[in-house]
Structure 1
């Protein structure tokens, strides 16, 4: 995998064109299933070279955004909410990998409670374990939490966590990192997680999270997220 997952602010990296139609009112209620799907990231929101990914493909290759074995850590990279909408993306067969999950809650208080559950999971999960590798040849690996710095605020409020895979031999190559950003927009949450190897030519997660929050914000206002102004086209792995 060839990603470096530092959260950095890159001025002008993402140009958004998400204006509401004239006179269109802001939405007061939580979004429905179709609206949440429209607010999800899609391949056109990514730089050139990214493609759609799936849970089935991730399971087949045995690598992707990890699924912690510990129940207390399950809310870090996904959501247990039944109505959650999900999408996955990959740059190559070996990464980096990105997943995004959008959820609508009954009201703002419920969304805040769900965001607090994420923060509690991050506080409780200094280390988590997961299985990596193709079926029949899996290995249990550990990820240790490391400081995520002071991430820039997104949406109405946000939080972030960052983990590094524990390697037995420090000379085996670049570290494997996973980072997640979660943001609240009214009664909605969106989280974006990226996993890959720590390398200098990384794609910053900030731009991807910016786009995810902007699309959800536009949908929550009652608008339809406009296509990315610099559509790179789709890619197949």
Structure 2
């Protein structure tokens, strides 16, 4: 082992990757959530399916707000999931940065973007029936003990120019594990089917941590199996 790397590793918490131990694309893909990480009834979703139905985790029209829900960094690996054709929907994105410092800086930029994005707009609905909707931020505390550091946001949907619309809640959690970041976002109606995003994010962080330390992700003890929509 290189002496400098050995010295650096002594300062890390047990099980955490060294700063230079960034994961490759195939490892990031292994660390992504998959359908068996969800309760029974969830299935894989795709960007193509979301575009066809015109609804899912939003893609903000404002460029500054887009990286709240995704990362444009090279090598980012993504996956999507749906409970039904009408939601709720979940997306996740895992990114490896060159160093822990770079990952910290990217998380700081996420927080800065959140300050600029009290409201964002997006197009929802299929094809020519798409309408512009706005999402307004509401208070949400950051998760405790999630990864090395984390942040979270929550938005409620409103229809521009109207007083009311179908209540839709959008949440996103981002967590850092060494030089890696994982985002988990969820969009759905405000009802019990939408569930807790924090629990999903905890599973995402657990898998990323296991892969980062060289282990194969252990399956959930109550693994339900996959579902096809």
Mapped contact 1:26–1:222 kept (Cα < 8 A): no
Q: Which residue of the other structure, out of 151, 161, 166, is the alignment partner of 1:159?
A: 151
Q: Which residue of 1 aligns with 2:24?
A: 32
The change in CA–CA distance for 1:69 and 1:233 in structure 2 (over 3 A counts) is same
Q: Which residue of 2 aligns with 1:182?
A: 174
Gaps of 5+ in 1: 1-24
Measured after TM superposition, the shift of residue 200 of structure 1 is: 3.9
Mapped contact 2:143–2:198 kept (Cα < 8 A): no
Match runs of 1:118-157 below 5 Å: 118-157=110-149
CA offset digits 1:130-176 (Å, max 9, x no partner)? 00000121100000011013532310000001100014234x55x11
Mapped contact 1:47–1:232 kept (Cα < 8 A): yes
The 2-side partners of 1:123 and 1:31 are apart by 30
CA RMSD of aligned residues (A): 1.4
Q: Which residue of 2 aligns with 1:196?
A: 188
CA offset digits 1:4-52 (Å, max 9, x no partner)? xxxxxxxxxxxxxxxxxxxxx8643100111100000000000000000
Match runs of 1:89-108 below 5 Å: 89-108=81-100
The 2-side partners of 1:182 and 1:234 are apart by 25
Mapped contact 1:75–1:117 kept (Cα < 8 A): no
Residue 223 in 1 paired to residue 209 in 2? no
Moved over 6 A (4+): none
Q: Greater shift after overlay, 103-112 or 149-158?
A: 149-158
Mapped contact 1:190–1:212 kept (Cα < 8 A): yes
- For CA contacts below 8 A with separation 6 or more, give which structure has more relative contact order: 1
**Partner SS state of residue 30, structure 2:** helix
Q: Which residue of 2 aligns with 1:169?
A: 163
Measured after TM superposition, the shift of residue 202 of structure 1 is: 3.5
The 1-side partners of 2:70 and 2:33 are apart by 15
**Partner SS state of residue 131, structure 1:** strand
Q: Which residue of the other structure, out of 63, 69, 73, is the alignment partner of 1:77?
A: 69
Q: State how many pairs are aligned.
A: 211
The change in CA–CA distance for 1:98 and 1:219 in structure 2 (over 3 A counts) is same
**More helix per residue:** 2
TM-score by length of 1: 0.86
Q: Which residue of 1 aligns with 2:101?
A: 109
Q: Which residue of the other structure, out of 37, 40, 65, is the alignment partner of 1:45?
A: 37
The 2-side partners of 1:220 and 1:34 are apart by 12
Mapped contact 1:98–1:193 kept (Cα < 8 A): yes
Q: Which residue of 1 aligns with 2:11?
A: none
